[in-house]
Structures are given as structure tokens and as C-alpha cells.
Amino acid sequence: MAELSTLARPYAKAAFSYAQQASDLAGWSTALATSAAVSQSEKVRELLENPQLTSNERAEKFLSICADDLSDSGKNFIRLLAENHRLTLLPEISVLFEELKAQAEATLEVDVVSARPLSDAQAQQLAQALNKKFEREVHLHHSVDESLLGGAIIRAGDTVIDGTVRGRLTKLAEAMNS
């Protein structure tokens, strides 16, 4: 994946820079997410990999699917990606764009997987603690995994906090064996 990130990063930065100057981060975020979803369709992937099509034909066929969701500048971005044979990078470009957007807005998307549903008070308390820890506004996304014995797993960007009973027992066993 490092190679895809390396290839996608300049495009994500360029899109972010343009969106920031145009004060349209939300619009570009939506457009890139839509384009990324379209590019992951099996039929669209086959289209993008078809060697018989020119770059311009690929771009126009791609735009015929999602042009309604793109501004003129978004359409030009798709054409640029097609010209450089980079349409398949749209999912990675979208992810990198979202990371840049979150940094600029000082927000952080946090996934919490717990053994039982969190109450509103628990979710609010957890969000406040994570706000302090990461020094950003945290947006919690909660899901339940009943296979966990207890506790929760928190994923915030590259950081994973394993507060499950199983995770703590594993750490205890490792400490005792070393």
C-alpha cells in the first residue's frame, strides 16, 4: 500500500489545496468519495483497465457515470487522472484527502468497538477524554462486537488502543513469560 500512497499523495494534496482555496472542502470530499466508490465497481475497473480505450475515452466514460456529482473542477480532476493513468488511485486519493481535511479542521474520526453498547454518557465521557489526548475534536463511531469479553478497542488514525479484557490478559501473559 505504500506505493499507492506515494502515487496518490500529490493528487490528494493538489485536490486539497484547490478545495481549500475554493472554500469547498465538503464538496470535494463528497465528490472524491463518490468517484472512489464508482472506481471500485468491478465493471468500472474493467473499463479503466481496458487497453483499447484512450485516456480521454476512459475519462468520458467514467464521467458519464458520476458527472452529476462533480463540479467542473472535479471533472477536470478526473480528466487529469485519466490522462496520467491514475483513475485507479481514486480510493487512495480520497482517503488521503480526508486525512488532510481532518488535519486542517483539527478533527479526528475514532472507531470504538465494544462488547456492549455505550450509553450516551459513556460515549460523551470517552469523546472528552480522547479530545484531550489527541488535542482535536473527536467524532466517535461506535459498533458492538459481542465476541469481545469486555472493554473496547479504539482506533484513531494510526493509533489503536486495546482496552479489551482479552487484550489485557494477553499483555499480562506476555509480561509473566518474559
pLDDT 10s digits, 120-155: 999 899 889 988 888 888 888 899 988 888 888 988
- The pLDDT value recorded for residue 163 is 83
Which residues are within 8 A (CB) of 63 and not within 5 positions of it... i.e. 6 or more apart? 70, 75, 78, 79
Please report which confidence band the pLDDT of residue 164 belongs to, taking 50, 70 and 90 as the band edges.
confident
CATH 3.40.30 placement within the chain: 107-177
- Sheet hosting strand 107-114, strand order edge to edge: 137-144, 107-114, 152-156, 159-162
CA 131 to chain centre: 20
Please answer whether residues 108 and 102 qualify as being in contact, where contact means their C-beta atoms are separated by less than 8 angstroms: yes
- E strand or H helix that includes residue 80: helix 72-83
- The pLDDT value recorded for residue 91 is 94
- The pLDDT value recorded for residue 94 is 95
Residues β-bridged to residue 153: 113, 162
Comparing 107 with 97, the larger pLDDT belongs to: 97
Which residues are within 8 A (CB) of 89 and not within 5 positions of it... i.e. 6 or more apart? 4, 7, 8, 11, 81
Q: What fold does the segment set 2-102 form as a domain? A: Peroxidase; domain 1 (1.10.520)
Q: Is the pTM of this model over 0.85?
A: no
- The pLDDT value recorded for residue 2 is 58
Q: Could you tell me which CATH number the domain at 107-177 has?
A: 3.40.30
Backbone angles phi, psi at 18, to 5 degrees: -65, -45
CATH 1.10.520.20 placement within the chain: 2-102
Q: What string of DSSP letters covers 16-28?
A: HHHHHHTT-HHHH
- Residue 58 CB burial class (10 angstroms; 0-12, 13-18, ≥19): buried
Tens of pLDDT, residues 7-52:
999 999 999 999 999 989 999 999 999 999 999 999 888 888 888 9
Comparing 37 with 104, the larger pLDDT belongs to: 37
